[in-house]
Each structure stands twice: as C-alpha cells, then as structure tokens.
C-alpha cells in the first residue's frame, strides 16, 4: 500500500472518530507539502470544518494529534496552518520502506500470473534502403515499450513486418540492373542495405532526368512522371514479381538477402530484437484474398479500370484504394493480411503498432476495414503514434539521399564518446593533444573525494582510472556511453511530440542526459566496492536500526525510490518511455545532491553508514532497472 493510501485510511478513521464524518476520496485531499513549510504530505482539512463546527486551525490540530496517537508510528510530527495539516513522516517508516525496496529483487514490476498477451510491432523497414534516424526512434520506442509492458505484467511478443515488395523495392532492383555492373557487398566493401540504398537514390536521380527531358519536350509534369521510361519499367517489374517471374524473383531474393544481413548488424548494435518477423511478400496474398472476399460480399466495390476500393464516407473518411487496376496490392492490403496471420499465430489480447504520426489515417482505415471484414480485433488495435525526428536543416528524404544513416549515427556517437573518454582521462588523443580541460573529469568512477563531476556547482578533484583497473576497455565504455547517450536523448522526449536531434547535446555529462545517469550509477558502484571489496559492497538485508534519524535529503531520496512502481505503471498506461527516463534523471539528481551533502564511507556512526550504503545500493538498483526499461546499459566503472 502506498504512503498516500495509508494516510488516507488513517485520516478517514480520524474524522469518523472525531466528528462522525464518513469521508470519501473527494473529501480526503492530499498534496505535497509546500517548500516553505515543514512536512512531507499535507491534508486539506477545510472539507471537515463545517461538520466539526470548529475553526480550521483547531480541526487540523485535533486530526494531527489523533494521527500521532493512532498512526502506529507513521506520523512523527505535524504543524497546522489554517486549513492545511502538514504531516512529517517518521524516520522509522522511511527506513522500513528502504529495507523493503532493498530486499525486493523485482522492485517496480507487476506480478501477474495470468500474463495477458500483447504484441508490439516496430521497425517496419523497407528493403530498398538502410535504417535511418527515423527508424532509430521507432526501434528504440518499440523495444522500450515492450520492456515496460513486460514489467507491467504482460507477456509481450515483439514483431517486425518487413516491407520487402512493392514499387520502391523494384526501383532499387531496376537501378542495380541498369547501373550496377554486378556490384555486390563483397566487391564494394559496403553493407548490403547501404549498397541497395545507393541504387534507390540512383533510380530517383535518373528518373528526375527523364521527367525533366519529357517536360522540356512539351509534356506536362504529371504526365511526364507517369510516362518516364524508368517508372514504366519499374511498374512492369512489380507486375512480373507478383506473377512469379523467375528472373525477377531470383534478383529480388539475392538483393533482399544483402539487405537482411545489413539489417541484422544494425539491430545488433542498436540492441533491439524480435520474437517473430513477418514479410509483406508472405502476407499480401492473404490480404488480397480477404479483399476479394469483401468485394464478393458487397463490402467493397470495383471501378471501371478494375481497381478495388472501400467507401468509408459513412465513417467520416474518404474512399481507400485496396487493389490497383493491374491487380497489384497496396500497403493496406498487406496490413490486412498481416493482422489476420498474427491472430492466427498468437492469442493476442492487445495489438500495438509503433508507427509515426504520419500514418494516423492509415491505422484509422485499417481498424475500420478489419472490423468490416468481420475480424473481432479490428476495433481493438492500438496505433502508438509518435512524432517525427527532425534535423536542423529540415526533414529527411530517403530517395534524395539526405537521411541520417543509423549505422553512421551510432558509429559517430561511439567515436565521440571515445574522444571524450581520452580527453577527460588525460590520455593523449589521436593527434597527441592533451586533454583540453587539463583535468580528468570524465569517466572517473574510482576517484577520491566527491568524485570528478561538477555536482551542485562544486568542483571536486578527480583521479583518472587506468584502463586495466576499470573492468572495461575504453572501446567498451565508449560503446555503452555513446549508445546510452543516443537512446536516452531520443526516449526522454514525449514520444507524441516531434523532436530535434542534437548529437552534441545528447552526450553532455551535465543535465538531463544518459551519460549523467550512467555516471551516477558507476559512482555508486565505486562507493560500494570501496565499502566492502569482497562482497561488492552489498550491505546486509537485515538489521537497519530504527534509531537512525534521517536527514531531509535522505527521506527525499527514499521517497523518490518508493515512487518507482507507480512510475512504471504510468509509463505502461501511457506507453511512454519518457516517464521512465525523466524519473531516472530525477533520481540521479536526488542521489548526487545527497552524496554532496553527506558522507558515506567516512561516516563514523556504523548504523548511519550501513543505512547510507543500503540507500546507495537501492538507488543503483532502481537506476539500473529504469535504464534497462529504456534499453540502456549501465557500466560498473567509468
């Protein structure tokens, strides 16, 4: 039971005993005590004044005295200020909370024996280009949402639908045939997805030339776009693919195999995975079959050119193309087939699509069509709509080659972290230049004093750690920190908002960043190792004495820890990793404020020292769990 629930129950008992009032939730108003008053939680007493027939001050004092007398040690003291009763929670209560948090190996997780099944779809790449920054946000959100929902008691199936067929794929294939001269990943030294992406860009470049030539010859632009030879050839290739043409299918299989090998490398570096991968080439036929059934049943209609449409005007939308005039399918057709197969494969209780907000209309239509076709899950699908990632110079365009490549981005983040490591540790950089700062105030978790970062505006000395003592190579630290910086910067933003990506800001060790939280964790591990090298610093799970009197920053830190389960639930309800990210940052800030003010290892009182070690270990545990839910690793040393 939460602290607020306990105080509500006690307060209800108090006003019933004192004034005969049956208090409901509306009357029991609790809020955080304002900073200018002493206390942790404030009970608003105005709702009880009329029945008590006393002044608000008197009512507050009577309730406060009753709570101290009957609260079993929960309330240490109180102060009544007009209609507000400010309650100070006892150190004994906070110590019992701390001990329970420390002892709970699964603190924050929901225990659900039933484990309903949620399927989360994310990534959804096209096999005509490598993953880019937009895919990075998609994958990180999807993977984190899956972890958060598992922590909330769901059994989660992580799925990916690969868009491996269609006109865009044919464009890359055609360009490779015309301009590739047999180039392969091995002959070019490029990852397969990068190689194919280059030919997608090449198609667009040559296609634009043809359109311009036709327009210069007197044709209007729209007609030129349809009549350009390259576009006609690509459309012909798509038709041959759907008809099972042997040569086209073999070319398609070869080029897709190059792309899949490249995707696997990217996913591995990003730290995301899938339980099941569906391919549009396997699902679109199921979708076409369902559309044909719907057409026969009068749920859809065919136009004079042979194309099949759904009339959604009665639902407040427009008409939606389902099959082109040449019989080829569209994305909507594929999604219908994929949804059908998924519900055949798994007893799904909730289906979540992690797809950008540019596709909100698409999923409204999909939900209506699935329901119209008689699938009971049609109305229940969830489109987790997230905002786009933008750059200082605007949106990305794959066909023009103006994207931020995911592989290049991750490599650059790791390289930047490595440079920072070398500079801050005092190690000469590649060009022989010493650290710009002249101090080792970076990856120095083993330093003396209060460490090596500027917390609370206080400069502290730092002794660089030799790589042989760190437990990690500099490359491994750079990978953990660089990728942690990238992931945290993206996930800390409300997922429904568009965001501007700034790599330099993401890797800063000051402020709301992944490296700041990672360093806080490493700092705690350093303290625990020094406290007890043979036991990894872990204090005993029993034996906190109630005689320890907590300081305000200690109680604030325990209270922050106690909030973690409700934060995990909120993140699950809202499908928002940002809730976890910003909690982790607040917890790290609270710890560093505590660490700045109070000694741990040099504390002379053994009981206080033990309590602070337990408090530190509990903070580390919750930070590690929170960062795991974001898909971020935390280093033992930095």
- SS3 at position 84: strand
pLDDT at 395: 47
Residue 459 makes CB contacts below 8 A (sequence gap 6+) with none
pLDDT at 428: 39
Q: Tell the residue number behind the tokens 């296609």, with chain if given.
A: 207
- The answer on 387 and 363 residing in a single domain is yes
Q: Which of 386, 404, 422 is the last residue of a domain?
A: 404
Q: Which residues of 415-448 are buried (b: 16+ CB within 10 A; e: fewer)?
A: ebbbebbbbbbbeeeeeeeebeeebbbbbbbbbe
Which residues are registered as beta bridge partners of 356?
386
Residue 590: inside a domain: yes
Residue 104: inside a domain: no
Q: CB–CB of 94/46 below 8 Å?
A: no
Please identify every stretch of the chain with a pLDDT value under 50, giving residue numbers as ranges: 394-401, 427-470
DSSP state of 117: E
Residue 96: inside a domain: no
Residue 226: inside a domain: yes
- The answer on 415 and 399 residing in a single domain is no
Measure the CA angle with vertex 606, ends 600 and 610; round to 5°: 55
Tokens of 71: 């609260």
Residue 41 makes CB contacts below 8 A (sequence gap 6+) with 3, 4, 7, 30, 31, 32, 33, 86, 87, 89
- The answer on 604 and 619 residing in a single domain is yes
pLDDT at 379: 84
* Count helices and strands in the chain by DSSP H and E runs: 23, 14
Q: What is the CATH classification number for the domain harbouring 16?
A: 3.30.1360.70
Distance, CA of 119 to CA of 309 (rounded, Å): 29
Which residues are registered as beta bridge partners of 132?
405
Phi, psi of 385 (to 5 degrees): -95, 120
Phi, psi of 455 (to 5 degrees): -95, 140
pLDDT at 75: 95
Residue 580: inside a domain: yes
Q: Which of 381, 404, 427 is the last residue of a domain?
A: 404
pTM, 2 dp: 0.86
Distance, CA of 604 to CA of 592 (rounded, Å): 21
Tally of CA atoms within 13 A in the half-sphere of 633 that contains its CB: 17
Residue 108: inside a domain: no
- The answer on 195 and 215 residing in a single domain is yes
Cα dihedral 68, 73, 76, 81 in deg (nearest 10): -30
- The answer on 413 and 400 residing in a single domain is no
Question: Which domain does 188 fall in, by range?
Answer: 122-404
Count: domains in the chain = 3
Residue 638: inside a domain: no
Describe the strand order of the beta sheet including 84-89 as a list of residue ranges.
30-32, 41-44, 84-89, 75-81
Distance, CA of 591 to CA of 553 (rounded, Å): 9
Dihedral of CA 240/245/247/253: which sign? positive
- The answer on 558 and 543 residing in a single domain is yes
The answer for 316, left when phi > 0, alpha when psi is -120 to 50, beta otherwise, is left
Phi, psi of 470 (to 5 degrees): -85, -20
- The answer on 510 and 562 residing in a single domain is yes
Q: What is the CATH classification number for the domain harbouring 546?
A: 1.10.730.10
Over residues 109-146, the pLDDT tens digits come to 988 778 899 999 999 999 999 999 999 999 999 999 99
- The answer on 215 and 140 residing in a single domain is yes
- The answer on 291 and 227 residing in a single domain is yes
Q: What is the CATH classification number for the domain harbouring 251?
A: 3.40.50.620
- SS3 at position 168: helix
Q: Which of 358, 380, 404 is the last residue of a domain?
A: 404
Kind and range of the H or E element at 155?
A: strand 155-162
The answer for 549, left when phi > 0, alpha when psi is -120 to 50, beta otherwise, is beta
- The answer on 414 and 387 residing in a single domain is no
pLDDT at 331: 87
- The answer on 549 and 440 residing in a single domain is yes
Residue 61: inside a domain: yes
Over residues 431-479, the pLDDT tens digits come to 333 333 333 333 333 333 333 333 233 333 333 333 334 456 888 999 9
- The answer on 564 and 420 residing in a single domain is yes
Q: In the chain, what is the straight-line distance between the N-terminal and C-terminal CA atoms, in Å?
A: 37
Kind and range of the H or E element at 468?
A: helix 467-470
Between 406-424 and 133-151, two packed helices, what is the crossing angle to 10 degrees? 80
């Amino acid at each position: 039971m939460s602290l607020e629930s306990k105080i509500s129950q006690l307060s209800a008992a108090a006003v019933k005993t004192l004034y005969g009032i049956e208090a409901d939730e509306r009357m029991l108003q609790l809020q955080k005590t304002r900073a200018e008053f002493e206390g942790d939680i404030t009970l608003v007493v105005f709702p009880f004044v009329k029945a008590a027939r006393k002044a608000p001050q008197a009512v507050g004092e009577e309730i406060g005295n009753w709570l101290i007398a009957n609260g079993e040690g929960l309330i240490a003291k109180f102060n009544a200020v007009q209609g507000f009763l400010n309650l100070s929670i006892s150190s004994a209560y906070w110590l019992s909370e701390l001990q329970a948090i420390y002892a709970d190996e699964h603190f924050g997780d929901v225990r659900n024996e039933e484990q309903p099944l949620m399927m989360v779809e994310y990534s959804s790449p096209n096999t005509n280009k490598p993953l880019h920054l937009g895919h990075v946000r998609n994958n990180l959100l999807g993977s984190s949402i899956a972890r958060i929902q598992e922590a909330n008691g769901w059994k989660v199936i992580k799925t990916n639908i690969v868009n491996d067929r269609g006109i865009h794929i044919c464009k890359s294939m055609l360009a490779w045939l015309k301009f590739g001269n047999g180039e392969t990943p091995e002959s070019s030294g490029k990852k397969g997805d990068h190689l194919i992406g280059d030919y997608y860009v090449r198609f667009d470049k040559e296609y634009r030339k043809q359109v311009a030539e036709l327009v210069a010859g007197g044709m209007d632009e729209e007609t030129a776009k349809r009549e350009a030879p390259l576009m006609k050839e690509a459309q012909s290739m798509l038709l041959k693919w759907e008809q099972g043409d042997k040569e086209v299918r073999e070319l398609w299989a070869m080029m897709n195999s190059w792309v899949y090998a490249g995707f696997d490398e990217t996913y591995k570096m990003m730290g995301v995975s899938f339980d099941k991968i569906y391919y549009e080439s396997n699902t679109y036929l199921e979708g076409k079959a369902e559309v044909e059934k719907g057409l026969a049943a009068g749920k859809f209609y065919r136009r004079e050119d042979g194309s099949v449409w759904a009339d959604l005007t009665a639902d407040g939308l427009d008409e939606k193309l389902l099959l082109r005039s040449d019989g080829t399918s569209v994305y909507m057709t594929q999604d219908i087939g994929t949804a059908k197969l998924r519900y055949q494969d798994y007893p799904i209780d909730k289906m979540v699509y992690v797809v950008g907000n540019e596709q909100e209309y698409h999923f409204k239509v999909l939900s209506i069509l699935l329901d119209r076709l008689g699938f009971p899950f049609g109305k229940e699908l969830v489109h987790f709509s997230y905002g786009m990632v933008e750059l200082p110079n605007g949106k990305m365009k794959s066909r023009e080659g103006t994207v931020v490549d995911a592989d290049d981005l991750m490599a650059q983040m790791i390289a930047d972290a490595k440079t920072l490591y070398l500079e801050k540790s005092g190690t000469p950089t590649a060009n022989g230049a010493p650290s710009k700062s002249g101090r080792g105030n970076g990856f120095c978790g083993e330093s003396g004093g209060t460490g090596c970062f500027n917390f609370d505006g206080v400069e502290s000395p730092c002794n660089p750690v030799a790589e042989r003592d760190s437990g990690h190579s500099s490359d491994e630290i750079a990978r953990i920190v660089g990728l942690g910086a990238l992931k945290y910067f993206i996930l800390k933003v409300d997922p429904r908002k568009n965001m501007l990506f700034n790599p330099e800001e993401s890797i800063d060790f000051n402020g709301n960043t992944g490296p700041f939280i990672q360093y806080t964790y490493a700092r705690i591990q350093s303290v625990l190792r020094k406290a007890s090298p043979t036991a990894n610093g872990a204090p005993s799970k029993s034996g906190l004495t109630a005689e320890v009197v907590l300081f305000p920053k200690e109680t604030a830190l325990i209270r922050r820890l106690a909030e973690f389960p409700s934060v995990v639930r909120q993140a699950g309800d809202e499908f928002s990793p940002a809730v976890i990210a910003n909690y982790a940052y607040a917890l790290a800030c609270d710890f560093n404020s505590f660490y700045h003010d109070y000694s741990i290892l040099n504390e002379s009182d053994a009981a206080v020292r033990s309590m602070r070690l337990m408090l530190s270990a509990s903070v580390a545990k919750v930070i590690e769990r929170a960062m795991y839910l974001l898909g971020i690793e935390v280093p033992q040393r930095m």
